[in-house]
Amino acid sequence: MENIQMPIDSGDQPSCATSERDEFRLSSTSPGVAEEQVLLSALIEIEKENQLRLTRHGQKQALLCFSMKLPIAELRALQVQAARWKIKQTDLTRFLLKLAIPLLEHPTSAVKPVLEANLEIETQRELQRLRQRRHVGAFTESQQLFDYQES
């Protein structure tokens, strides 16, 4: 095996030692059985939907658009893999959400504690934001009162 030495950069900017392929890698572990089943279900739904599109050109559904924030690496990985397998990103996202919504409506015994813990964390964050706003609002009002009294 060759010893490859990376040059040491003494400047402020870090040297780029990652390849373009590594940039899209999200995790080093292989997907498990659960992830495989979820994706398989979504792919089956996409296939069914594509077959329906071929047979019913005139029927249209009302669609709404929503935006979603993703880390750049995850979005690029989605784009690369969707293009590789010629799957529309919209279809994949939509059908994965179709699988998630029933679990959110009727959480299983394994999912419910996780959802409840997340709810508690988000409730605490919201209360903290409200307290900060109240504090900032009280400070702004007192500053306006002070400015008014000076003039």
**Burial class (CB within 10 angstroms; exposed 0-12, middle 13-18, buried 19+) of 95:** buried
Contact 38, 95 (CB under 8 A): no
pLDDT of residue 145: 59
pLDDT of residue 107: 92
Tokens representing residue 30 in the block: 């292989």
Domain limits, the chain: 34-55+71-106, 108-151
pLDDT of residue 59: 62
- pLDDT tens, N- to C-terminus, the chain (151 residues): 444 444 444 444 444 444 555 555 555 567 778 888 888 888 888 888 777 766 655 566 677 788 889 999 999 998 999 999 898 888 888 888 888 888 899 999 999 999 999 999 999 999 999 988 887 766 666 666 556 666 5
Q: What is the pLDDT of residues 53-91, one digit of tens each?
A: 666 555 666 777 888 899 999 999 989 999 998 988 888
> Per the confidence metrics, is the pTM higher than 0.85?
no
Please choose, from the candidates 112, 93, 92, the residue with its C-alpha nearest in 3D space to the C-alpha of residue 103.
112
pLDDT of residue 116: 95
Contact 132, 143 (CB under 8 A): no
To 10 degrees, the CA torsion angle through 81, 87, 89, 95? -120
Q: How many CB atoms lie within 10 A of CB 92?
A: 19
To 10 degrees, the CA torsion angle through 66, 68, 73, 79? -20
